[in-house]
Each structure stands twice: as C-alpha cells, then as structure tokens.
Amino acid sequence: MAIIKFPEHFKWGAATAAYQIEGAVKEGGRGESIWDRFSHTPGKVINGDNGDIACDSYHLYREDIALMKDLGISVYRFSISWPRIFPEGIGKVNEEGVKYYHDFVDELLHNGIEPMCTLYHWDLPQALQDKGGWANRETIEAFGQYASFMFQEFKGKISKWLTINEPWCVSFLSNYLGAHAPGNKDLQLATTISHHLLVAHGLAVSQFRKIGEGEIGFAPNLEWLEPFSNKEEDIQACNRGIAWFIEWFMDPVFHGKYPEFLLDWFKDKGVTLSIDEGDMEQISQPIDILGINYYTGSVGRYKEGEGLFDLEPIDIGYAKTDIGWNIYPEGFYKALHKLKVQYGDIPIYITENGACYNDEVENGEVKDTRRIEYLKQHLISLKRAIDSGVNIQGYLTWSLLDNFEWAEGYDMRFGLIHINFKTLARTKKDSYFWYKQMIGNTWFER
C-alpha cells in the first residue's frame, strides 16, 4: 500500500456558502437576493427547491462549528450574504446582519478555526439587480463599498478574503447559458459582466490595501478538457474550452490583459468588450492568494459549429458522480500544473473540490464510500502537483454540509455531513470520519 503524505503545515478545511446553508431569508433584517427571486420562479430549480430554510445554519451555526472542531479542520470557508449587510445593496447598513457575522466569526475563532471569507458567492442584492446588476458599472462601486465596510468591520478577525467566487459561473453560466440566477442567455451581456466582475475584484483589492489586514484573492473554477486525439483541431478546441475558465479570468488578473485569441473568437461572434481607462490596471493589482475550485474534466474534440468554441465534449465512459460529472482526477493535476507554468508561484488554496453522491442515512450511518474514493483520487493528484512544485497551501473540500446545490436543489448532496432537510438533523457520513483521520495523520493509505 502507498502512503500519501502531505506537508506538516498544510491547511485542511471545508467550504460552504451563505445562500446554500443559512436559510432565515426573511430574518435578521436581510434583504432579497437574486437567488431568492430565481429560486421562487417556477421552473428554475429542480423540485421547486429554494434557500428559504436550507440547512438553517443561520440558527444552527454553533452546532456546525462544533462539528468542524470535531472534524479537526483548521480553516473554514464561508460566504457573507451581501443583502444581510446591505439589504438594498448600498446605503443603510443592517446592524443585525453585521452582529450575526460577528457572532459567527467569534465562534469560529473561539474554536481555533481560521475564517476564510468569500465576499461574493452569487447572492447579489435584488435591489442592485433591479438596476441592471453586474451589467451596470454602478454595481462595481456598490461592491467596493460593501467590501470596504467588511474589511474595516472584521479587521483583526478575518485575515483571508476572497472577492468573487467562480466568476465564470456568475457571468457565463448565469447570463449566457441561463442555468443560474438571474438566468439570462446573452453572450454579450455575459462577457460584459465577466469584465465588470474583474473590475469589482480589483476595486476590492485596492480598498483592501488601504483598509484591510491579511491576504486577499479570488476563486475561479476550472474544468479540464482532454483532447480526444492528438489532431491539432482537437487540441485547439480544448484549449479554447479551458481558456474560457482559466485564461479569460486569470490573464487579466495576473498579466493585465485578456487572452487575444479569445477576444478575437468573441469578436467573430459579434461580442466586444468595453474597457474603461484604468480598468486593466485595477484588475491586475497583485493578489496574495488564489482559490481554485475543481470538480471534473471531460474529453473534447473539434466539431464545427458546436457550442461556443466548435468544441464537442464526448463521453468515452469515465465513471461519473451522481450529478453526472466525470470523475477525472488527472485533470486536477494538469490544471494545477498549467497554473504554475502560466501564473507562477502564487500561493494556492483548493477552495472547492468534492463529489456529489446522494447516499442516505441507514441505521444512523451514511456509507458514502464513493466519496472517499473520489477524495483519495483527487488528493493523489493534488500531492503530485505539490511534489512537482505547485505552491499549494491548503485544501478545503466542498462541502462541510449537504446543501442547496443551486438549480439542482437539495437532491444533489456534496457534504461530509448529511442533512435531513425536513428535521435539519446532521449525520456524519463515513467520509467525515475518513477526512477526520486523514487530517489528524496528514496522510492516508492508498
């Protein structure tokens, strides 16, 4: 048997997000978010599920933190519900919301768990959406005000910040593919939004440099694409598909410019970017940490006219998780290696990696052996990336809890802890016990 051992000071954690776990959507002075509106729109979310109650972590966070302490994680990634702080997105602060997050963060710190805070994890205040949302440059300023408030308010308590979670999902999945809130299907709109998100990220970083303490970054998601053959057309098609997730967002932040070949590709689709003076300088201010979210990869080949990039993902028979995503740990290593080659030694935290398996409680147990296998396979790839020189500082699995998986609702379960969404009972899965032992040992047996 092989022993897969991680560095002694490697940080182990878990991740969640406000709209997916909190519930209490009309409590504590919280304003409406675009996900309240979207999830209550018939046909948008499977089973008509919504985040009204979710895991009720708004009320049960002390129980959740006790579970985190038992699990042995040293860092917990959560997100702030922007409309809990600014119910209208800007202007009047909701003091109840501020107090809630102080109580929450204090409980984390009291239990020796480091908070990693995501400022924007998709729950835009609806009041801002009503004025155009991320398509309106005023939202950039609103995000800057929100971020500045949070940096000042939580100085000395939170020292790891992420500005935007998965800007590809916020822009293209939500405004071109239409799968997430607000559900637009407009490539020009989505591309404009992707730029505004990056400008907003840069504004928050510039404010952080004046006000904040600690480290700041953002958390792009990426899906790997393996060429079906070594035909140049297949390789180039997959490069385009990968660049949509990686270069489109990482090049502006790390190199101060968009990838020319994608700009040209979008131009041929009639899509242009309106870049204001100073935007690229703002976007490309140095960041301290990089969050990376990885779940899956696919095999792709060139097919003229297919999708946005003449790229056809093909199913060659890889095993899949219960949400239908390929299990492709090699893509994890390849993506991380690509990041080192193209963007250098920025300290990386894996801010999301995990599997959807919908095992239920039987006799008080959840025997999610498939999740343990997924974690092992991906941690093996992660260790390969670390040993090949990628500067990875920590791994936070998605997710601590089963939760509201966006348009997939509650059927799709990613947690180490099972949630009974009727009783809100928490049940530790077998993967919880495996992760706990692995954290304690800093190694696992293969």
Smaller CB separation from ligand JJW, 161 or 295? 295
Q: What is the closest distance, in whole angstroms, from the C-beta atom of residue 397 to ligand JJW in the complex?
A: 11
- What letter would DSSP give residue 15? E
Does the annotation count 141 as an active-site position? Answer: no
Q: Which of residues 340-359 bind ligand JJW (CB under 6 A)?
A: 352
Residue from 57, 81, 171, 221 binding ligand JJW (CB under 6 A): 221
- What is the rounded distance in angstroms from the CA atom of residue 435 to the CA atom of residue 106? 25
- Closest to 311 (Cα-Cα) out of 245, 246, 241: 241
Helix-strand-coil percent breakdown of the chain, rounded to 5? 45, 20, 40
The answer to whether the beta carbons of residues 418 and 407 sit under 8 Å apart is: no
- Give, as ranges, the residues between 369 and 398 that touch ligand JJW (CB under 6 A): 398
Taking residue 420's Cβ as centre, other Cβ atoms within 10 Å add up to: 12
50 binds ligand JJW (CB under 6 A): no
Out of 24, 98, 170, 173, the residue judged to bind ligand JJW by CB under 6 A: 173
Q: Which of 22, 32, 352, 408 is catalytic?
A: 352
CB of 20 to ligand JJW, least distance (A): 6
Which residues between 232 and 261 bind ligand JJW (CB under 6 A)?
none
In the complex with ligand JJW, the residue whose CB is nearer, 295 or 302, is: 295
Start-to-end Cα distance in the chain: 6
- Write down the residue that tokens 């959840």 correspond to: 366
Which parts are annotated binding residues for substrate? 20, 121, 165, 295, 398, 405-406
- For ligand JJW, the binding residue among 64, 247, 359, 405 (CB under 6 A) is 405
Q: At residue 445, what are phi and psi to the nearest 5 degrees?
A: -90, 140
- Out of 53, 93, 109, 177, point to the residue binding ligand JJW (CB under 6 A): 177
**Beta-carbon count within 10 A of 184 CB:** 17
Residues in the chain: 446
Active-site annotation holds for 352: yes
- Nearer to ligand JJW by Cβ, of 98 and 355: the residue is 355
CA angle 400, 406, 412 (to 5 degrees): 60
Give me the residue whose beta carbon is nearest to ligand JJW. 179
Residue corresponding to tokens 């991740």: 15
Task: Output DSSP code: residue 230.
Answer: S
Q: Which of 22, 166, 234, 402 binds ligand JJW (CB under 6 A)?
A: 166
Residues tagged active-site: 166, 352
Q: Can you give the binding site for ligand JJW, defined by CB under 6 A?
A: 17, 20, 166, 169, 173, 177, 179, 221, 293, 295, 352, 398, 405-406
